[in-house]
């Protein structure tokens, strides 16, 4: 896949990572395109979650991790010593498998990051919260109870709230690690619909165990196996006519 | 390629393939019987074609139902997905080949038709042989996923078209020269037309075989089959 530089959000070059002496990622090179959805699929332990956690340096939190290679976000090396990791994580937001709202009101959850950065004047907080909740397709369901605790929302609503919280600080990339695997089918569809809308503004990388979900929501799909990137191609090719036999075996349910 | 983790899915695909091969075998027999019945004016054999036609229609519906179920419930991917698509496409071709065989069989036993055999005997015999072979080779290529055989069948369809044109030319001149045998000449035309259609369906099946194996959609042009489109983006 050849992309002009201006269309690349994350440029991963020869990335290897190991936990203590155990290699988890080996020589990953891939270009994640801007304002598209890229899905990472592969069997458990293939390194897909480890890979997206590299994109906002979440793995820094683990002592035994060593990383080699390079990751550029909009052409800037994210491992550069001048990079403020907190700043990086604002640009690269993340949503996890289990919704993790703070034990605060709905409104405060979304405003949390904005209050931390103090970049948005107080007078504009309210309108930014409304914007984020609307972008996360949650506004209509919560607009009359913004002061209520976020813990009273359903799982699907909580997950959309967490997405609203992530986009409130206007990141450029949104990382979704199994965002719908704890949700019922209808909530899952709502999240998928939301992903389709969000990609017009954000670059999205999604890790999913659900291959049909990857097929439904993504433009590009990367298949990882034992820490290696086996195939990275447009999603249609991966699911109808993959070029690598390993990919074929995995997407058709033959991987043993 | 490895087996599927799900044994029941593996069985489902196997039974789809088995049913498909059985349907193909019946259709191939139908074309062979219709051709022989026409050449030999054998009414009994022609009757068997009509009986088989009912079987073919029923089995096509059953096969499509089975494939529909697999598509909806298993969400097959990659080559499994292409197999299901291939079965949908090909079952339509098979069903239509059956219709054409039935159409040919309907001419058998009509007194005015017998003389058609005399006048057009050689060319019609050849056309029939070619059509039966085309169906056999296309189905063989499907069963073995043999792209070379499929391509050969596509190329050979040109010969069937040529023979058809010959029948059209000679029956047209017959009609112009002597309209007394109009019915004979028209029957020759109709039968040749059916055989030519059978050849086209065999060609479609062969194109589907290329899609099954290579994932490339080939239509109407052997050049594409030899140099498949490699747009990976």
| B113-154: pLDDT as tens digits | 655 556 677 888 899 999 999 999 999 999 999 999 999 999
pLDDT bracket for residue A54 (50, 70, 90): very high
d(C-alpha A131, C-alpha A134), whole Å: 5
Of A232, A253, A256, which to mutate for an interface test with B (greatest number of B Cβ within 10 Å)? A253
Judged against a pLDDT cut of 50, whether residue A63 lies above it is answered with yes
- This complex has an ipTM of 0.72
Chain B residues close to A248, C-beta within 8 Å = 1, 78-79
As a whole number, the mean pLDDT across chain B is: 88
Q: Measured between CA atoms, how close is B181 to chain A, in angstroms? A: 55
d(C-alpha A105, C-alpha A112), whole Å: 10
Chain A residues close to B9, C-beta within 8 Å = 253
Chain A residues close to B228, C-beta within 8 Å = none
**Out of A245, A247, A252, closest to residue B80 by CB:** A252
| Mean pLDDT value across residues A199-209 | 95
Judged against a pLDDT cut of 70, whether residue B208 lies above it is answered with yes
| Mean pLDDT value across residues B32-36 | 94
Query: What DSSP letter does each residue of chain A carry, written as one string?
Result: ----GGGEEEEEEEEEEEETTEEEEEEEEEEEETTSEEEEE-STTSSHHHHHHHHTTGGGGSTTEEEEEEEEETTEETT-TT--HHHHHHHEEEE-SS----SSBHHHHHHHHHHHH--S-HHHHHHHHHHHHHHTT-HHHHTT-TTSBGGGS-HHHHHHHHHHHHHHT--SEEEEESTTTTS-HHHHHHHHHHHHHHTTTSEEEEE-S-HHHHHHH-SEEEEEETTEEEEEEEHHHHHHS-SSHHHHHHHTT---
Judged against a pLDDT cut of 70, whether residue A250 lies above it is answered with yes
Judged against a pLDDT cut of 70, whether residue A13 lies above it is answered with yes
Q: Inter-chain contact B81–A248, Cβ cutoff 8 Å?
A: no
Q: Residue A240, Cβ neighbours under 10 Å: how many?
A: 16
**Burial class for A185, CB neighbours closer than 10 Å (0-12, 13-18, 19+):** exposed
Is residue B209 within 8 Å of residue B146, measured between CB atoms?
Answer: yes
Q: Inter-chain contact A1–B232, Cβ cutoff 8 Å?
A: yes
Q: Inter-chain contact B4–A233, Cβ cutoff 8 Å?
A: no
∠ at Cα B167 (B166, B172), nearest 5°? 100
Q: CA gyration radius for chain B?
A: 20
- The residue in chain A having the minimum alpha-carbon distance to the alpha carbon of residue B2 is A254
Chain B residues close to A252, C-beta within 8 Å = 4, 76-81
Q: Measured between CA atoms, how close is B75 to chain A, in angstroms? A: 8
d(C-alpha A199, C-alpha B228), whole Å: 33
What pTM was computed for the model? 0.81
d(C-alpha B205, C-alpha B143), whole Å: 11
Q: Measured between CA atoms, how close is B219 to chain A, in angstroms? A: 18
For residue A195, give the nearest of A224, A231, A168, A159 by alpha carbon.
A159
Q: Inter-chain contact A252–B77, Cβ cutoff 8 Å?
A: yes
Residue-level pLDDT at B173: 86
Top-confidence residue, B226 or A169 = A169
Segment B37-96, tens digit of pLDDT: 988 889 999 999 999 999 999 999 999 999 999 998 888 999 999 999 999 999 999 999
Q: Inter-chain contact A251–B232, Cβ cutoff 8 Å?
A: no
Q: Measured between CA atoms, how close is B199 to chain A, in angstroms? A: 28
How far the first Cα of chain A sits from its last, in Å, is 29
- The residue in chain A having the minimum alpha-carbon distance to the alpha carbon of residue B215 is A241
B168 to A193, B96, B194: CA distances (angstroms): 58, 22, 12
Q: Measured between CA atoms, how close is B87 to chain A, in angstroms? A: 15
Residues of chain A with pLDDT > 90, as a percent, come to 81
Work out how many CB contacts closer than 8 A connect A with B: 58
């Amino acid at each position: 896949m050849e992309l002009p530089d201006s269309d690349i959000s994350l440029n991963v070059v020869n990335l290897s990572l190991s936990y203590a002496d155990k290699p988890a990622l080996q020589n990953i090179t891939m270009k994640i395109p801007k304002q598209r959805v890229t899905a990472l699929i592969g069997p458990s332990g293939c390194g897909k979650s480890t890979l997206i956690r590299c994109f906002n340096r979440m793995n820094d939190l683990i002592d035994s991790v060593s990383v080699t290679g390079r990751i550029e976000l909009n052409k800037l090396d994210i491992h550069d010593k001048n990079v403020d990791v907190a700043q990086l994580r604002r640009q690269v937001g993340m949503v996890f498998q289990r919704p993790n709202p703070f034990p605060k009101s709905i409104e405060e959850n979304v405003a949390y990051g904005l209050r931390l950065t103090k970049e948005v004047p107080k007078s504009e907080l309210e309108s930014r919260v409304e914007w984020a909740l609307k972008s996360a397709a949650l506004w209509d369901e919560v607009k009359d109870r913004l002061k209520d605790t976020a813990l009273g929302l359903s799982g699907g609503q909580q997950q959309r709230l967490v997405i609203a919280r992530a986009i409130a600080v206007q990141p450029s990339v949104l990382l979704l690690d199994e965002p719908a695997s704890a949700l019922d089918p209808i909530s899952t569809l709502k999240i998928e619909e939301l992903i389709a809308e969000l990609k017009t503004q954000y670059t999205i990388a999604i890790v999913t165990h659900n291959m049909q979900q990857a097929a439904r929501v993504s433009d590009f799909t990367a298949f990882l196996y034992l820490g290696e990137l086996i195939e990275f191609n447009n999603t249609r090719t991966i699911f109808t006519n993959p070029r690598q036999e390993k990919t074929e075996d995995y997407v058709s349910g033959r991987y043993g | 390629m490895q087996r599927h983790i799900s044994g029941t899915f593996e069985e489902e695909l196997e039974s789809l393939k088995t049913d498909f091969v059985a349907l193909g075998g019946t259709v191939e027999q139908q074309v062979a019987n219709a051709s022989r019945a026409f050449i030999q004016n054998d009414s009994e054999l022609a009757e068997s074609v009509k009986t088989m036609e009912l079987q073919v229609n029923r089995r096509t519906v059953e096969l499509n139902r089975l494939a529909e179920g697999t598509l909806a419930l298993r969400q097959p991917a990659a080559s499994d997905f292409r197999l299901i698509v291939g079965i949908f496409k090909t079952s339509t071709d098979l069903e239509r080949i059956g219709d054409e065989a039935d159409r040919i069989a309907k001419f058998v036993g009509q007194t005015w038709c017998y003389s058609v055999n005399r006048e057009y005997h050689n060319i019609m015999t050849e056309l029939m042989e070619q059509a039966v072979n085309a169906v056999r080779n296309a189905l063989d290529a499907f069963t073995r996923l043999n792209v070379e055989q499929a391509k050969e069948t596509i190329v050979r369809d040109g010969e069937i078209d040529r023979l058809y044109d010959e029948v059209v030319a000679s029956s047209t001149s017959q009609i112009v020269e002597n309209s007394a045998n109009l019915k004979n000449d028209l029957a020759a035309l109709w039968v040749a037309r059916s055989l030519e259609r059978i050849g086209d369906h065999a060609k479609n099946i062969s194109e589907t075989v290329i899609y099954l194996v290579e994932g490339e959609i080939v239509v109407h042009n052997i050049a594409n089959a030899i140099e498949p489109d490699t747009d990976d983006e």
